[in-house]
Amino acid sequence: MLSVMRSVIARDLTLAWRRRTDVFTSVIFFVIVASLFPLGIGPEPKLLLAIGPGVVWVAALLASMLALSRLFASDYADGTLEQMLLSATPLSVIVIGKVIAHWIAANLPLVLIAPLLGLQFGLPADALGVLALALALGTPSLSLIGAIGAALTLGLRGGGVLLALLVLPLYAPVLILGSLAVEATAAGLAAQPYLLLLAALSFAALSLAPWAIAAALRISYE
């Protein structure tokens, strides 16, 4: 079972690598959205510092959502998803593999580049580290929750907008905890409780979402 999951991860990462432009577009989207705010607001260090964590998180949320529609769409179009539904391995295991690969290809680059964007808002060094850490702990739950929405809206016309409407409200807890962690660090307080809660959310999503995603995929196929 684990070897099937590994093969699915390797397959999806190979595909992402051969379609690198898709990865770059969501990273560049992230950079542009997060950079528009300092440009629009102007050089007011206090204000920028106050909005920085929230803005970077919202930009990461949107960039991560942008990539979601790709998660199952091409497998659905070319029929490989059909074969996954008929696999001898439980669909939820394959789905975990797909979400892990998606997280590595679409969200890990955001985690790595976020501290650079935080600099634009004058975040102190320790807050930059916490920003990356909070994103690393929080984005897995974004991918998992988002995958449920992506599976439900599969094959629908105008699915992209519907996906955003379904998924963005569910992202709110992650956004709140994530930006609080960074703000707390910038204010000299402990970020640990927020980080632990983010990790807990991700683990809860990991234990529940795969079954929901698998069920949603089967519904989309009927």
Partner 1 sequence: MLDAINLACTRGDRTLFRDVSFTLESRGLLHVAGANGSGKTSLLRILCGLGEADAGDVRWRGEAIRTLREAYWREMVYLGHANALKDDLSATENLHIACVIAGRPAARDAVSAALTAFGLVACAHLPARALSQGQKRRSALARLALSTQAPLWILDEPFSALDVDAVSYLEKLILAYVAGGGSVIFTTHQDAAINTRITQRVDLDAVC
Residues in 87-146 at the binding interface with partner 1, rule: CB under 8 A: 87-90, 94
Work out which of 13, 62, 85, 175 binds partner 1, going by CB under 8 A: 85
Please tell me the distance from the alpha carbon of residue 171 to that of residue 141, in angstroms, as a whole number: 9
Per-residue 3-state assignment (H helix, E strand, C coil) for 37-104: HHHHHCCCHHHHHHHHHHHHHHHHHHHHHHHHCHHHHHHHHHCHHHHHHCCCCCHHHHHHHHHHHHHH
Shortest Å distance, C-beta 85 to partner 1? 6
Choice from 25, 80, 192, 207 touching partner 1 (CB under 8 A): 80
Of the ranges 72-80, 121-129, 143-151, 194-202, which one interacts with partner 1 (CB under 8 A)? Answer: 72-80
Task: Report the site for partner 1 in 167-196 (rule: CB under 8 A).
Answer: none
- With CB under 8 A as the rule, give the number of residues binding partner 1: 25
Query: Cβ closer to partner 1: 138 or 210?
Result: 210
| Contact pick of 11, 109, 170, 175 for partner 1 (by CB under 8 A) | 11
25 belongs to the binding site for partner 1 (CB under 8 A)? no
Collapse the DSSP code of 89 into the 3-class scheme (helix H, G, I; strand E, B; otherwise coil) and give the result. coil
Q: Give the pair of three-digit tokens for residue 196.
A: 């632990």
- Report the greatest alpha carbon distance in the chain: 59
